[in-house]
Amino acid sequence: MDENGYWLEVSKFDPRVVGLYQKHYSSRKGVASSVWRMQGIQGPGESMVLLVVDCRALFAWRKGIYDTIPPQTGICCSVFRNTGDILSSELIKEADKLAWQKWLELRHFTFVNSDKVKSSHPGYCFIMAGWDYQRDEKGKPVLTKGGLYILEQFQEDRC
């Protein structure tokens, strides 16, 4: 890591970002290039899109209220893709720091589709970065109605 960190903040329209995003399991497949030029990888609203200098990792935050079951509020990691050699947990920790600087005291969260990741422990890189599963009153991980794991981190949980 250089003295300024791994991440550079870039536009959600940046073609390098779009290229990495299109290979992520959550991307909108079959979308015309004209749509990418108009909307970028994020919908409307406040967001932060981060790219590693070598263009081998992407992280995108989006502030909002998500109408999932159960509903989620805060700053959502809408996409994280790492094809490089830097540990994913290190990239997540730095992305967290940048988001805390922009949006104080808002919870960070993400959704993980265990059927689409190549891990027996969905969200492991987030866990290693200090996140945890959202849990019910019995301590079991909460899943969305669609079966996605919800991982979260609060500012007071930061390392």
The tokens describing 145, both together, are: 């109605």
Kindly list the structural domains of the chain, giving each domain's residue range(s) and its CATH number in brackets, ordered by start.
7-157 (3.40.630.30)
The answer to whether the predicted template modeling score (pTM) of the entire model surpasses 0.85 is no
Percent of the chain with pLDDT over 90: 52
- What is the mean pLDDT of the segment spanning 63-70? 81
Helix, strand, coil abundance in the chain, percent, nearest 5 = 25, 30, 50
pLDDT over 70 (residue 11): yes
